[in-house]
Amino acid sequence: MTVNPSMPRLLESGRPLSAGEIKILLVDDQPARLLSYESILDGLGYGMVRANSGLQALEQLMKDEFALILLDVSMPGMDGFETASLIHEHPRFERTPIIFVTGVNVSELDQLKGYKLGAVDYVHVPVVPEILRSKVSVLVELYCKRRELQSLNEELAATNEELAATNDELAAANRALELDKARQLEALNRDLRSANVELATANRALQAEIEVRADVEEQLKAADRHKDEFLAMLAHELRNPLAPIRNAVHILRARTSADAEDRWVQDVIDRQLGSLTRLVDDLLDVSRITRGKINISRGAVALGAIVHSAVETVQPLISEKQQRLSLDVPDPEVLIDGDLTRLTQVIGNILSNAAKYTDPRGVIALSGRRDGECVEIRVRDEGTGIAAADLPRIFELFTQGEQNTQRALGGLGIGLALVRRLIELHGGTVVARSEGEGRGSEFIVRLPLRPREPYLVPVHAPAPAPAVAPAHANSQLPPGSANRTGRRLLIVDDNQDALDSLAALMEMSGHEVHMATDGESALTVAESCRPEVVLLDLGLPKLDGYEVARRLREVPWGRAAMIIALTGWGQDEDRRRTRECGFDSHMVKPLDLDALIRLLGSPEVTHS
């Protein structure tokens, strides 16, 4: 049934009843919900009165008349059911319709209880605006119809009294008038029955729509779960082949070569491998943020430390393109309330974007200074700029500026989306500005200051170092391996290339290496060599890495060994599982060789 809330109605006085004269009582203990109800129903034009509790609702009812009550079930003190019972015990309000609002699943018994107390319908949180507006409009329509009928009945009663007083004189006229009024009433009843049929049909259609929407919502949730599972699997499958490539690059670097072209090829592979690894990490970060599963470890972070770390991550790309990076950070000791790792990722992504879209030998400027109760960081470049049409959606996921065939710079369009989400988690803002295509761009990040405390010592960040080749590029052994005592290692991986390349690296570092390609052979080899350190892949044939770790911890010598998970699975759930199964550390492929070297040199690694 189509309902027009602005349709004129009649009060007892006979004048039109406007939508503004129809009042709805909104009862909820949460101001935010009351505001959302008002926002949803505002377009209908009805008057709305708030009540924060059952007692306030009763007070409002004694003051005024309401066409409808929207009543929260779960309220402290007097709940919705008790409030409804008190309302309908009063003769004046016994026919006032009530829509219950609930944020939990209501059992059939609770629904029956509500209907016995006078509930007309239920609305579940989160509220679907169209459904709530439709239900309210229909019930207000019925209220207005009831008022019209009441008015007609009162008119009829008055007429009957007049006819009774003059019955002797106007008997014939009175009978005719009664018959005429009876016909009018019958017609009105027929209209009301027709309206009830239409309302029932509308209710059935509404219920069908609710069921369809619930089914669609479940399908969307399932699709979202499948997406997350796919991203995790994609990261794992991408990281597995990256591991032997990274190992091979380390092996090549460890061999002294005077050929400049060889060194250039190694640098290219290393840079592109790092880019691909960061791309995989960004994909997973976006997935975690959209699911609310990313953690921000806030603390006192110096602005200079953030800038230094961010510049360090993007320096190879800037050096490769021979660009000039200008830094203007007059007060590097100013403290920000944030997560150093995540804020480094934010500024690094913005700098990386600036370097990517700026021509070789171009200039990029980074400035950072205090502005009131915030720190403002600006990154400006002389690059391709951003079209006016792209600016409003530049921070949306998978959005990229328009590219032509002469300048296709690649990327998935997730870096800036990740920047905005991480900044918002810190309570800050980020905006992009550009005067148009070919005129460069500027990104402005604002982050809240951390109140200075007397016991906090500001971090003095060193100046960013110029782009140079890694110190270990021409060494005989992998980085960090000098002057280390050799360990007895067992490496277990079903990827033969990853196994062989990592074993070669460890042997070049002076370690005694044993290898296995599945879980069962890993236990056999471990029993024969009794390793000090086990580098263990998780996805193994026959026995997976979790079971291998559990069995190693069951033998006396295995309890003293260091067991390191070396895997493509790097989500929080994967790290939790490895900790529970007895792993000492969890390293994600492709391997950070420097971190592994430091781990092997730690005093926790003891000889068995």
Last residue of a domain, one of 165, 185, 208: 165
**CA–CA gap between residue 424 and residue 57 (Å, rounded):** 38
The answer to whether position 210 is within a domain reads no
The answer to whether position 230 is within a domain reads yes
User: Do 285 and 349 belong to one domain?
Assistant: no
| Residue among 42, 78, 37, 46 at smallest CA distance from 65 | 46
| Residue among 58, 54, 51 at smallest CA distance from 31 | 51
Q: List the structure tokens of 337.
A: 């309330």
**CA–CA gap between residue 419 and residue 394 (Å, rounded):** 11
3 state SS of 587:
strand
Residue 423 in contact with residue 445, Cβ under 8 Å?
yes
**CA–CA gap between residue 466 and residue 118 (Å, rounded):** 76
Q: What DSSP string runs through 357-393?
A: TS-TT-EEEEEEEEETTEEEEEEEE-SS---TTTGGG
Distances (CA, A) of 321 to 239, 247, 364: 27, 26, 12
User: Do 24 and 114 belong to one domain?
Assistant: yes
User: Do 393 and 310 belong to one domain?
Assistant: yes
Q: List the structure tokens of 300.
A: 């006192």
Q: What is the pLDDT of residue 332?
A: 92
One-letter amino acid at 214 equals A
Q: What is the pLDDT of residue 415?
A: 77
Characterize the bridge pairing of strands 512-516 and 488-492.
parallel
| Residue among 413, 381, 387 at smallest CA distance from 398 | 413
Residue 68 in contact with residue 136, Cβ under 8 Å?
yes
Distances (CA, A) of 79 to 14, 94, 106, 498, 542: 38, 18, 14, 63, 58
User: Do 321 and 405 belong to one domain?
Assistant: yes
Low-confidence residues in the chain, pLDDT < 50: 1-14, 404-410, 454-484, 606-608
Last residue of a domain, one of 400, 429, 448: 448
User: Do 587 and 505 belong to one domain?
Assistant: yes
Q: What is the pLDDT of residue 528?
A: 94
Last residue of a domain, one of 130, 165, 200: 165
**CA–CA gap between residue 580 and residue 74 (Å, rounded):** 40
| Residue among 512, 515, 525 at smallest CA distance from 551 | 525
The answer to whether position 150 is within a domain reads yes
> Per-residue pLDDT tens for 73-132?
888 889 888 888 888 888 888 888 899 888 776 677 767 777 777 667 888 888 889 988
pTM, two decimal places: 0.44
Q: What is the pLDDT of residue 472?
A: 35
User: Do 304 and 417 belong to one domain?
Assistant: yes
Number of compact structural domains in the chain: 3
Characterize the bridge pairing of strands 363-371 and 374-381.
antiparallel
Question: CATH number for the domain including 257?
Answer: 3.40.50.2300
Q: List the structure tokens of 374.
A: 């915030």
Q: What is the pLDDT of residue 293?
A: 63
Residue 567 in contact with residue 539, Cβ under 8 Å?
yes
| Residue among 222, 226, 27, 250 at smallest CA distance from 123 | 27
Question: CATH number for the domain including 407?
Answer: 3.30.565.10
User: Do 80 and 101 belong to one domain?
Assistant: yes
**CA–CA gap between residue 99 and residue 139 (Å, rounded):** 9
User: Do 396 and 517 belong to one domain?
Assistant: no
| Residue among 392, 302, 381, 294 at smallest CA distance from 340 | 302
Q: What is the pLDDT of residue 524?
A: 94
Bridge partners for 335 per DSSP:
302
Q: What is the pLDDT of residue 411?
A: 53
User: Do 513 and 581 belong to one domain?
Assistant: yes
The answer to whether position 487 is within a domain reads yes
User: Do 434 and 362 belong to one domain?
Assistant: yes
Q: List the structure tokens of 96.
A: 């006032």
Q: Which domain holds residue 47?
A: 15-165
| Residue among 499, 526, 516, 514 at smallest CA distance from 591 | 499
Characterize the bridge pairing of strands 562-567 and 585-588.
parallel
**CA–CA gap between residue 161 and residue 209 (Å, rounded):** 50
Q: What is the pLDDT of residue 27?
A: 94
The answer to whether position 7 is within a domain reads no
User: Do 492 and 588 belong to one domain?
Assistant: yes
Q: List the structure tokens of 541.
A: 């044939």
Q: What is the pLDDT of residue 406?
A: 40
Q: List the structure tokens of 398.
A: 């998978």
The answer to whether position 170 is within a domain reads no
The answer to whether position 461 is within a domain reads no
HSE of 285 in the Cβ direction (CA atoms, 13 Å)?
Answer: 24
Q: List the structure tokens of 126.
A: 């989160």
The answer to whether position 465 is within a domain reads no
User: Do 268 and 306 belong to one domain?
Assistant: no
3 state SS of 474:
coil
Distances (CA, A) of 450 to 121, 339, 346, 445: 50, 12, 18, 16
